[in-house]
């Protein structure tokens, strides 16, 4: 059973005219669970189910937990999701709406994750939100779909938190012969663990997350995401929370799709002077989605 959908690949007329180049939007916000997470998580859940798992446990800031909860409902497998206190009330409600057992534990994802690991039993499968090759294999299918549509962009633009999307996209790029296409990985100021890690050449842990983009709230990226920077052209870019929120509102106005600031970060980078984006004739933006924010949240966060 395929639980994710083949999402639309849209040519954004508004962005293309404004920037003077073709801007493609891969609309992962339209996945049934609201984000790209469903691709890799559905692959991992199905893999574990085939091997006898009778219960899924996950730790999440919101989107991964919702994807696991959705998969559990569709596969008829009970799910427990552990979220930190920073997870929005909206995300918590959506996870429970899917029928999962929700546990709120700790102030950070790291604390929630440690507690989730303590719940594992012989028949329980742990579904990591970003650091698992099974996830990366599933996420890679979004690039397969772009390639099948006949598009090979001059650059790829995405948001990065723990690095799951980045690892998956690069996996897909490699198997489709896009080794020469640069990737721009974007974070918000206050959640920029990947930028710091690439600069150090190893995973760096932030003391705290201060950005409103809590879905980018892994304090440290996975090792594989840092390793990719040593074998593929990756540009790390950091934008402000305000720019991410503004980009979310512009996407809502121009394309009638609501995303959260973690996704808006990548959209905001379109307006940065980034050499890798300027050099190519067109750019592919992964509109990764996210369910943790409402329109009211975005309006409240918008600078006055």
Q: What is the pLDDT of residue 250?
A: 97
Question: For the chain, what are the domain ranges?
Answer: 9-36+134-301, 37-130
User: Could you tell me which residues are beta bridge partners of residue 24?
Assistant: 11, 284
**Residue 67 pLDDT level (bands cut at 50, 70, 90):** very high
Q: Which CATH number fits domain 9-36+134-301: 3.40.1190.20, 1.20.1250.20, 3.40.50.720, 3.40.50.1100?
A: 3.40.50.1100
Residues contacting 38, CB < 8 A, separation 6+: 3, 4, 31, 32, 67, 70, 71
Token pair 């409402």 is at which residue?
294
243-264 residue pLDDT tens: 999 999 999 999 999 999 999 9
Mean of pLDDT values over 118-141:
95
Identify the DSSP state of 192.
-
At residue 157 the predicted structure's pLDDT band, cuts being 50, 70 and 90, is: very high
CA distances from 127 to 82, 84, 214, 291 (A): 11, 16, 19, 19
Same fold, 9-36+134-301 and 37-130: yes
pLDDT at 218: 77
* ∠ Cα 203 263 2 (to 5°): 90
Residue 203, pLDDT score: 93
- 121, 123, 108: which is closest to 161 by C-alpha? 108
Distance between CA 50 and CA 108 in Å, rounded? 32
pLDDT at 265: 96
Residue 209: predicted pLDDT: 82
Which pLDDT belongs to residue 123?
93
With DSSP H G I counted as helix, E B as strand and the rest as coil, what are the percentages for the chain, rounded to 5? 45, 15, 40
Sign, CA dihedral 137-143-149-150, equals negative
pLDDT digits (tens, 9 = 90+) for 91-106: 999 999 999 999 999 9
**Nearest-CA neighbor of 277 among 167, 195, 166, 156?**
156
Contacts of 225 (CB under 8 A, 6+ apart): 160, 162, 163, 164, 166, 167, 194, 197
Average pLDDT over residues 72-98: 94
Instruction: Give the whole-angstrom CA distance, residue 71 versus residue 73.
Output: 5
First to last CA, the chain: 47
Q: Is the pLDDT of residue 206 over 90?
A: no
Rounded to 5 degrees, what are φ and ψ at 11? -85, 120
Instruction: Look at the chain and count its residues.
Output: 304
- pTM for the structure as a whole: 0.95
Locate 193 and state its tokens: 């663990």
Q: Choose which CATH entry (3.40.50.1100, 3.40.50.9100, 1.20.1740.10, 3.30.300.30) describes domain 37-130.
A: 3.40.50.1100
């Amino acid at each position: 059973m395929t639980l994710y959908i083949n999402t639309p690949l849209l040519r954004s007329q508004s962005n293309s005219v404004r920037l003077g180049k073709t801007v493609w939007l891969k609309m992962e916000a339209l996945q049934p669970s609201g984000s790209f997470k469903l691709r890799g998580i559905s692959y991992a859940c199905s893999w574990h189910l085939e091997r006898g798992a009778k219960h899924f446990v996950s730790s999440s800031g919101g989107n991964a937990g919702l994807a696991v909860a959705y998969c559990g409902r569709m596969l008829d497998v009970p799910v427990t999701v552990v979220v930190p206190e920073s997870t929005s009330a909206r995300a918590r409600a959506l996870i429970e709406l899917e029928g999962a057992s929700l546990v709120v534990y700790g102030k950070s994802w790291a604390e929630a994750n440690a507690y989730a690991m303590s719940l594992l039993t012989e028949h329980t499968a742990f579904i990591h939100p970003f650091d698992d090759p099974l996830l990366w294999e599933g996420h890679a299918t979004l690039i397969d779909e772009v390639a099948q549509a006949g598009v090979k962009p001059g650059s790829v633009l995405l948001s990065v938190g723990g690095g799951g999307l980045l690892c998956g996209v690069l996996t897909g790029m490699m198997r489709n012969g896009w080794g020469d296409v640069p990737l721009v990985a974007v974070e918000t100021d206050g959640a920029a663990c990947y930028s710091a890690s690439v600069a150090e050449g190893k995973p760096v842990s932030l003391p705290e997350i201060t950005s409103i983009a809590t879905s980018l709230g892994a304090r440290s990226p996975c090792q594989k995401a840092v390793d990719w920077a040593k074998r593929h052209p990756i540009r790390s870019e950091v934008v402000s929370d305000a720019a991410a929120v503004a980009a979310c509102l512009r996407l809502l106005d121009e394309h009638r799709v609501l995303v959260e600031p973690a996704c808006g970060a990548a959209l905001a980078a379109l307006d940065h002077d980034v050499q890798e984006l300027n050099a190519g004739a067109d750019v592919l933006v992964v509109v990764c989605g996210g369910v943790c924010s409402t329109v009211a949240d975005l309006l409240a966060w918008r600078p006055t």
